[in-house]
Amino acid sequence: MTIIPSIKRDYLCRLAEQGKRIDGRKFDEYRKIEIKPNIISKAEGSALVKIGNTQVLTGIKMDVGEPYPDSPETGVLTTGAELVPLASPDFEAGPPQEDAIELARVVDRGVRESEVIELEKLCIEPGEKVWIIFVDIHVLDYDGNLFDAASLASLAALFTTKVPAKRFDLGEDFPLPLREPPVSCTSVKFNNVVVADPCLDEEEIAEARLTVATDKNGDIRAMQKGLSGSFTKDEIKKVIKASINNGKEIRKILYKSIGK
């Protein structure tokens, strides 16, 4: 396990009291975001996202299978995340741990509940055959804020996805039908300050975490509070406001990267 010396904790807190962060950012400021779409040729869609030193790769695979009985005419979305030991000295090989499962579920919820994918257009034969979408999140380098990197990589990957109809003798390939995406923004709280896009040092001393996904209109589409600390109502409102603002900028970067 990586140990955080008490001195570092105290230093981060002292800086925070003066309105500063360890890497010189403002409280609501993100690190540099880079998106490289369509980099895996074997995947139906893919994107690499860098937020500062954090790197996450999402690949999309598609298959034909049975729909769920309660929704016989809609495609199926499955999201998985792997915290492979490549990405951090603290990640271990083996079946997904709680952290990986939470990460996958938060990304899944951001995509599913906001209905980014027009799943109703992915029915091949009602009750029999629909398209199955596998969103696989691969964390490559962990320097904080996996939630935002993973959801952004997954969105960008979905926007590059071509449904491989030809391979299944189902006509011509076509782009995955999508709607306007919500964008997730995460903040953490420590020593009574709230900062956006935590780097690893900040994440390691964080008491509470809040992820807010907002859409183009500034409406809230998904939320997740994590860790054992708490937020006040005012802090939550502040996080939402910052998430809407940062979400706007990130949406621009996303659209630019996919040529939209």
Partner 1 sequence: MKSEEIKLIDSNGKRLDGRGPLDLRKIKIEAGVLHRADGSCYLEWGGNKILVAVYGPREAIPKHIQDQVKALVNARYNMASFSVEDRKRPGPDRRSREISKVISEALERVILTEQFPRTTIDVNIEVLDAEAGTRCAGLTAAGVALADAGIPMTDIPVACAAGKIDGQVVLDLGKEEDNYGDADLPVAIAPRTDEIILLQMDGHLTIEEFDKALDLAIKGCHIISKLQRKALLDRYQSLIEGGDIE
Partner 2 sequence: MVVLPSQLLGDIRNNKAGRGTFIEKGKIYSERLGILSKKMGYINVVPLKGRYNPVEGDSVIGIIIETSSSSWLVDINAPYPALLHVNEVPWSIEFGDTEKYLNYGDSIMAKILMVDESKRIQLTLNDRNLHKIVGGHIIDVEPSKVPRIIGKKGSMISLLKKYTRCRIFVGQNGRIWVDGDEKGIEKVVKVVNMIENEAVSYGLTRKIESLLKKDAKDVR
Residues that bind partner 1 (CB under 8 A): 39-43, 46, 53, 55, 57, 59-61, 63, 80, 82, 84-89, 93-96, 134, 136, 138, 140-143
CB closer to partner 1 out of 142 and 231: 142
Query: Nearest approach, Cβ of 229 to partner 2 (angstroms)?
Result: 18
Among 13, 20, 204, 207, binds partner 2 (CB under 8 A): 20
On the CB side of 27, CA atoms within 13 Å amount to: 18
Q: Is 32 in the site for partner 2 (CB under 8 A)?
A: no
CB closer to partner 2 out of 8 and 225: 8
- Cβ atoms of 159 and 45 within 8 Å: the answer is yes
Q: Is 217 in the site for partner 2 (CB under 8 A)?
A: no
Q: Is 90 in the site for partner 2 (CB under 8 A)?
A: no
Joined tokens for residue 130: 């629909």
Size of the site for partner 2 (CB under 8 A): 14
Query: Nearest approach, Cβ of 76 to partner 1 (angstroms)?
Result: 13
Of partner 2, partner 1, none, which one sits near residue 6, judging by CB under 5 to 8 A according to partner kind? partner 2
Of partner 2, partner 1, none, which one sits near residue 15, judging by CB under 5 to 8 A according to partner kind? partner 2
- 185: nearest Cα among 224, 156, 231: 224
- Cβ atoms of 46 and 58 within 8 Å: the answer is yes
DSSP state of 97: P
Query: Nearest approach, Cβ of 7 to partner 2 (angstroms)?
Result: 5
Instruction: Detail the DSSP E strand segments found in the chain.
Output: 33-37, 45-51, 54-65, 76-82, 123-125, 129-141, 162-163, 174-175, 183-190, 193-196, 208-214, 220-226
- 56: nearest Cα among 34, 89, 71: 34
Q: Is 236 in the site for partner 2 (CB under 8 A)?
A: no
Of partner 1, partner 2, none, which one sits near residue 3, judging by CB under 5 to 8 A according to partner kind? partner 2
DSSP state of 116: -
The sign one gets for the Cα dihedral 238, 242, 243, 244 is positive
Residue span binding partner 2 (CB under 8 A) among the ranges 5-13, 53-61, 64-72, 168-176: 5-13
Q: Is 8 in the site for partner 2 (CB under 8 A)?
A: yes
Q: Which residue has the tokens 């990986």?
A: 100
Footprint on this chain of partner 2 (rule: CB under 8 A): 3-11, 14-15, 18, 20, 24
